[in-house]
Structure 1
Amino acid sequence: MSLDLLAAEHGLTRVGGRPTLAAYLRELWRRRHFAIALGAARAYSRNQGSFLGQTWAILTPLLWAGVYLLVFGVMLGTDAGIGNYIGFLVIGVFLFHFTSANINNGSGAIVNNSGLVTSLQFPRALLPFSIVLAELFTLAPALLVLLVLVPLSGEAPQWSWLLLPFAIGLQWIFGTGAALLCARLVNDVRDLGQLIPFGIRGLMYASGVFYSIDRYAGDGVVGWLLTHQPIAVYLELGRATLLAEYDASLTLWLWGAAWAALALVVGLVYFWRGEARYGRG
């Protein structure tokens, strides 16, 4: 009898081995409170050493929105054809900042937490989950500011505003899947961590954060691909819930749900398949 069979007969399992996917999901659910607590601690500790503290969670996207408004709205004139460009831009910057933080910070979930990975036994997927939760907690006060800025830009409150949490929820699910995917990729190939910020910058220019994709990309294949890629879909959903000139069609919601489901399933399965290798150099 082999050692593996002998160990299994006596209820022993290999340290750091990969459980079945069903068992892994059950363990993730059982330890969900750890991810929530860790995410809340990350969000609270962020910027604690600075004078303004948590205010930077709001100031950072606001300052970027101001820079983009000056460069792209005033100097380059990309606001053409957009009725409420300030609202368009602020929503785009806030929501893109959420997704980019999920991907950028989530990609280092394993390599930046080697102490936890090597010293404690828990499903490693809890680390990317906690990072994306921290970004969600950080986004909450920024959304309150957004709901103040949008009326100041000339928008009247409407019933579609109630759909904003659902749009954010889909974006959060997508960000979780992307963080899981990138966390394993960077753990396996550390150099990819240096390339991810460049990829995020490219996504910013390709997702219509500060310009209308329809105006510049047209109705061809390139325009279709740009408007249906996930980042652009979630920006469009956010704008459609808050701005009167945009309409959140059922098709757009289905695209948002499809991207979220695909990212979560692919990211979780891909991350799980590498579970046995995390923390092993």
Structure 2
Amino acid sequence: MTAEASPTTAAVPDGLEPRPLSADESRALAERHALMQIGVRPPLTAYLRDLWRKRHFIWTLASSQAYAAHQKYLLGQVWAVLNPLLLVASYYLIFGVLLNTRRGTANYLGFLTIGIFLFSFIASSMTSGAKAITNNIGLVRSLRFPRAVLPIAVTLTQLIHTLPALGVLVLLMLVTGEPIQLEWLMLPVAIVLLFLNVLGITFFLARIVEISRDIGNLVPVVTRLLRYISGVFFSIDSYAGHPVVHAIMAYQPVSLPLTIMREALLSESPIHLGNWLLALGWALVLPITGFLFFWRAEARYGRAS
């Protein structure tokens, strides 16, 4: 007995069956519809294009996280300014009054405030950025997007969180007797250079900690060490008699942003073009090398170990 064909099944006439696509045709079809192979590192140009398309998502993620940071507290966003101010008060008491490290610095309160406010941004970005992948592993495993979104969003979150404190910083400069001068126009430039420096460091830390989570426990130790060798609450020029030590402390990528910010805001610290060029150099080298270092491991992020 011969089985009858189902009435809902239409036979395909001979010669009209769809032929398989060639490798080139499949690749062209995938590119036309922005499809990407899962589990492999995309080409750098395609990765950058995809990252640019996610710029609105990065901003939304960063701004929402910055807003939510203090919402569970009664004073809310006031803590974004209150925390660094309390740090300034405590450090001024310890280092400015008790230990008298203010020697040679006319406006020590302004000097210290710049150091504390900016280093708070640096330290929080490093600590949060180091865990940008590991703290969002569920998101990484469930959705396909450029993983560089996460360290960028974390660093941008901390910058948004710091902006109110920077506004207070400018007011404090006036309170401490600093005159408004043309150099203040360099403040936005200093902030951009600072952000780029920190972003580059964050890229490095995010990949390293994803490889070994134990290293994440060392990041607070590193930031504490940087606090004491970056001139946060004392002038690095006090080590001018030790040229090698002075050069290492003065020109590393954490202390230079503090230096150029002080040159922009403090009348006693004239702008030195060399410092700004070195800061620009770090702001180019660190983000580029950090991004490439991070991108090279794109395929492994989120894989179960």
Give the counterpart of 1:21 among 40, 44, 50.
44
Q: How does 1:120-139 map to 2 (within 5 A)?
A: 120-139=143-162
After TM superposition, list the pairs within 5 Å mapping 1:189-208 onto structure 2: 189-208=212-231
The one-letter amino acid paired with 2:90 is: V
In structure 2, how many angstroms separate the alpha carbons of the residues matched to 1:137 and 1:228? 26
Q: Please tell me whether residue 154 in structure 1 is matched to residue 177 in structure 2.
A: yes
**What residue number does 2:88 align with?**
65
RMSD of aligned Cα (Å): 1.5
Post-superposition offset of 1:139 = 1.4
Q: Choose from 26, 34, 37 the match for 1:10.
A: 26
Instruction: Return structure 1 stretches of 4+ with deviation > 6 angstroms.
Output: none
Q: For residues 78 and 249 of structure 2, what CA distance do their matches in structure 1 show?
A: 33
Corresponding letter in the other structure for 2:123? S
- Work out which of the residue numbers 132, 138, 146 in structure 2 matches 1:115: 138
Q: Deviations over 1:33-56 (max 9, x none)?
A: 111110001101001101111111
Query: Of Structure 1 and Structure 2, which has the larger fraction of its residues in helix?
Result: 1
CA offset digits 1:233-276 (Å, max 9, x no partner): 10001101000000221111111110111110111000000100
Equivalence for 1:166:
189
Distance change in 2, residues 1:189/1:7 (3 Å)? farther
CA 1:275/1:205 → structure 2, altered by over 3 Å: closer, same or farther?
A: same
Q: Give the equivalent residue in structure 2 for 1:265.
A: 288
**Equivalent residue, structure 2, for 1:187:** 210
Deviations 1:7-26 (A, max 9, x none): 67623653121011111111
- Residue 123 of structure 1 deviates from its aligned partner by 0.1
% of aligned pairs identical? 46
Q: Distance in 2 between matches of 1:249 and 1:38?
A: 37
Residues 239 and 245, structure 2, Cα contact 8 Å, conserved in 1: no
CA–CA distance in structure 2, aligned partners of residues 188 and 8 of structure 1:
35
Could you tell me which amino acid in structure 2 is paired with residue 90 of structure 1? Answer: T
* Aligned CA distance change for structure 1 residues 8 and 204 (closer, same or farther; 3 Å): farther
Q: Tell me how many residue pairs correspond in the alignment.
A: 277
Counterpart-to-counterpart distance in 1, 2:140 and 2:48: 18
The one-letter code sitting in structure 1 at the alignment partner of 2:264 is: T
Aligned partners of 2:209 and 2:215 also within 8 Å: yes
Distance in 1 of aligned mates of 2:79 and 2:293: 34
> Larger relative contact order (C-alpha < 8 A, sep ≥ 6)?
1
Displacement, 1:164?
0.5
Report how far residue 218 of structure 1 moved. 2.8
Q: Shift of residue 216 of structure 1?
A: 3.4
Following the alignment from structure 2 to structure 1, what is the Cα–Cα distance between the partners of residues 66 and 23?
A: 42
* 1:221 aligned partner: 244
Please say if 1:247 is aligned against 2:295. Answer: no
Normalised by the size of structure 1, how large is the TM-score? 0.95
- TM normalised by structure 2 equals 0.88
1:78 corresponds to which residue? 101
Gaps in structure 2 of 5+ consecutive residues: 1-21, 31-35
